[in-house]
A and B are shown apart, each in its own frame.
Chain A
Amino acid sequence: MKIGFYPGCSLSGTAREYNESVVAIANAFQIELITISDWNCCGATAAHNINKILSLSLPARILALAEKDGLTEIVVPCAACYNRLASAKYHLEENEELKNEVTQTIELDYTGNVQIINVIQFIEKYILNKLEKKLEKTFLQKVACYYGCLLVRPNKVLSFDREEDPLLMDNVMKKLGADSIDWAFKTECCGAGFSVSQTETVARLSGKIIEDAVLRGAEAIIVACPMCHSNLDMRRKEINNYMNTKTDIPVIYITQAIGLAIGLSEKDLGIHRHFVPVNLKMETLTENKHIIENLVKTEE
């Protein structure tokens, strides 16, 4: 099976381990990721604050290149890239004039027929139903699935999961054996790009997210966004200073969680790259256990 792949800038920089884990699980499930040739930056937060045409042209170029490569569906693991690409597609679909202007700017044909999916949709669509067979280890922990802002908002554009109380990642974690908790900060803002300019704001906002997860007994936070991850993980020192705490709750990507559960090595999944060490005890499902389970099933 083949699917288009847009890594985006983060996945080749601060979120290398996200990239590694996406590629690793795709390989494990025999899915070939075809990277869009000559891809560019999606424009991130900067472009749409400065210039509307630029903010639409950058994603449109990516989508046009995907079309040129003959791709009909692309997976975009970074939540911000996913949001920008989906927004651009939405706005160009709505406004023919805008579409013409953007097409002239990028000097490429753009029809808008490429499907854009985020990593959770990718897992849902191509991995979830094959997961059980490959499961080697299960999580024993309580986990807090953290979606952040960009995966679910605005619902009008993305129409992905429940806007204020998404559940898809929780469903995946439950399949991996984890006890995914009901908590209040699933879609609260982590502080995003203020990480650089107003680190204290990020320490406060991300601190509250971690505080609530810990308070409700979570032993790991599961994310699907490089920005959220870097704020919750890389900024942990600032968070702990600001909140006057010593939390060491690890933050892992949903793709890493799947990778661990199907027995991929920590190194392949980039677990060693995190700032907050990840030491999650997992239960190994022995072959015997499989046999016993099958026997029980057949007896029933």
Chain B
Amino acid sequence: MARIGVFICHCGENISSTVDVVNVADEIAKIPGVVHSVDYKYMCSDPGQTLIIEAIKEHKLTGVIVGACSPRMHEGTFRKALEVAGLNPYMCEMANLREHCSWVHEKSQKTTNKAYDLVKMLVEKVKHNESLHSIKVPVTKTALVIGGGVAGIQASLDIANAGHNVFLIEREPSIGGHMSQLSETFPTLDCSQCILTPRMVEIAQHPNITLYTYSEVEKVEGFIGNFKVTIRKKAKSLDEKACTGCGLCITKCPNKKIPNEFEQGLGNRTAIYVPFPQAVPNKPVIDKINCTYYTKGKCKICEKVCPTKAIRFDQEDELVELQIGAIVLATGFDIKKTDFFPEYGYGKYKDIIDGLQFERLASASGPTAGAIRRPSDGKEPKTIVFLACAGSRDSAKGIPYCSKICCMYTAKHAMLYQHKVHDGKAYIFYMDIRAAGKNYDEFTRRAIEEDGANYIRGRVSRIYERNGKLIVVGADTLMGAVPVEIEADMVVLATAAISSKGSEDLAQKLHVSYDQYHFFAEAHPKLKPVETNTAGIMLAGACQSPKDIPESVSAASGAASKVIGLFSNSELSRDPLIAYVNKSAPPIFSTCVGCFICESVCPYNAIGHEEIKDRDGVIIKTIAYINPSLCQGCGTCVAICRTKSIDIHGYSNKQVYTEVISLLNDI
């Protein structure tokens, strides 16, 4: 005979202000099987839990209902309390009287009645609960970091330095990401490459890190601690072991006019190329789309000149399968291009460039060796206009969110420009200056006060070209919205930061949720900012939302610490609330008829076949088998099973029907 205890929580006033909790506890006490029913102000508090533990012992309870908040909040707490009292933790059920009742209804008798019903259903359910034991799964202590920008680099190094193996994969031929393209960094103006390249070299040399560049994720299977990841290593047309990185092939390649992605199209590269001189690995790849041999079938000059015979034209993509315990997503961001803006000429004016292009112009290793020259004719621009919020915070045409980095880098651009062009004039159109960060506001003030950048608060309605000048038409809203027209030699658009190309695809491969702009979604905006809702997958850097370097690095270290924490366990426990196929005595063995429709609907590939054999090893029957370490307990197979042969521990058909029937009895 069941002996059930019911504990109704006030949740301060969260529940008790709309639900008559005393009444609920009193009425529940009258249900057969309930031997103890009380209310308390904070059931989750230490005295609250003690109350439950003591009651279990005193009344020899066999099942417990806590009527409180969402089980997502405190189910774990109360299950532990049961364990302390010597009861199986899965004999605890939570009625959600807060999110499902008190928060969504007015104070009334009906609300109290609903709370009573919610508890009553579980009283009937718990009578059918069975003791369950958590499932132990081993942890593969190898991490996969996707994306080799500053966030991916930081996360990889942190995890590797803790003694774990890391696979770092990057789709471009070199790691480094956007940070390697930057000239100098705010708010200290230290050279971006100078601080990043040592880290890149560290990656290449670290004994615990395996680097796969020019590679992408093909497939992800499995679950936390036990992912199976397939990586596509795109053919570089190169034997990397034989190549010494001498660069002779690059100098001899006849195809020299391909727009250089690293230089944001401001420079050219060859078909066999290394993206930039400090690349890691510093070995070339052949761009098959532009290579003369791949397009026309003739050339092979690189093969002829290579002193170590490292060129492999017949190389094919290679698929590598990795056993991974945890994944860090660090795929970064992109920026909108200037052709997004019709009012600024749809990208047809060469001297309207984006922020990343300006970084390349200002970079000592860039196409102009750091001299500010406009792309159209190579002249030094004497008047330059910067537009903050080009596409950002513009729900009508662009994106509604703030791209976060533009205020700071625009101030930096104006500063760098003034440092390099002493007789130049820099104007900045802005909406607000958002400079929240250590030494950030001081930095923007410096741009205005010491370097003489002209900040104009207002938007630019149009830019057009006339007599070789770019006419920038805007308004100064601090001067009574007077129209402003500036004849500029060059314009830099701080275009919106958007999610990296292919983010949606990748998120779907990993079963990670993402927002409408395809930025990956964190598990909790405040308390779980570097974790995703998919256990074992963490987030680092701007793939979650636009971030600057310090923030990306902090997030990466945060994600790494979550991975290291996970790897400090030798095995993980999982909830045993999973599906199973029933078994019975011969000659039936199981009601399963082996139609395997369940196999086709399982989203986790958890269902396989089990052969039932007689003593001679002859197969009598083949039935479905649910792999307990893969099953997530979603219940799809239960619903689809034609013979009702599958059930879920903790949510059996019997338990669910009992709950429903308990409500019907009132009518």
Footprint of B on A, CB under 8 Å? 156, 162-165, 183-185, 188, 212, 215
Contact = CB atoms under 8 A, between A and B. Distances in A.
B343 interface: yes
B342 A162 contact: yes
B346 interface: yes
Contacts of B396: 156
Contacts of A163: 342
A109 B181 CA distance: 63
B464 interface: yes
A184 B471 contact: yes
B343 A164 contact: yes
A162 B471 CA distance: 21
B481 to A, nearest CB: 15
A212 B343 CA distance: 16
B526 interface: no
By Cβ-Cβ distance, the 8 closest A-B pairs, closest first, are: A184-B464, A164-B342, A164-B343, A165-B342, A162-B342, A165-B346, A163-B342, A184-B462
Please report whether the interface of chain B is mostly helix, strand, loop or mixed according to DSSP.
Answer: strand
A188 to B, nearest CB: 8
B342 A184 contact: no
A156 B395 CA distance: 12
B346 A184 contact: no
A163 B466 CA distance: 22
Nearest to B467: A215
B343 A184 contact: no
Contacts of A165: 342-343, 346
A215 B346 contact: no
Given A164-B462, A184-B466, A184-B471, 12 more contacts: A156-B396, A162-B342, A163-B342, A164-B342, A164-B343, A165-B343, A184-B462, A184-B465, A185-B464, A188-B462, A212-B466, A215-B466
19 contacts: A156-B396, A162-B342, A163-B342, A164-B342, A164-B343, A164-B462, A165-B342, A165-B343, A165-B346, A183-B464, A184-B462, A184-B464, A184-B465, A184-B466, A184-B471, A185-B464, A188-B462, A212-B466, A215-B466
Contacts of A164: 342-343, 462
Interface in B329-386: 342-343, 346
B522 to A, nearest CB: 32
Contacts of B464: 183-185
Interface string B459-478: 00010111000010000000
Contacts of A156: 396
A212 B467 CA distance: 11
Interface in B268-286: none
A183 B345 CA distance: 10
Interface string B390-408: 0000001000000000000
A181 to B, nearest CB: 12
B641 to A, nearest CB: 45
A101 B666 CA distance: 46
A185 B342 CA distance: 13
A242 B254 CA distance: 59
A182 to B, nearest CB: 8
Nearest to A184: B464
Nearest to B343: A164
Interface in B414-458: none
Contacts of A183: 464
A59 to B, nearest CB: 23
Contacts of A215: 466
A188 B462 CA distance: 9
A156 B397 CA distance: 10
A92 B465 CA distance: 41
Nearest to A183: B464
Interface in B457-516: 462, 464-466, 471
Nearest to B463: A184
A164 to B, nearest CB: 4
Contacts of A212: 466
A215 B467 CA distance: 9
Interface in B310-345: 342-343
B400 to A, nearest CB: 15
Contacts of B342: 162-165
Contacts of A184: 462, 464-466, 471
A169 to B, nearest CB: 16
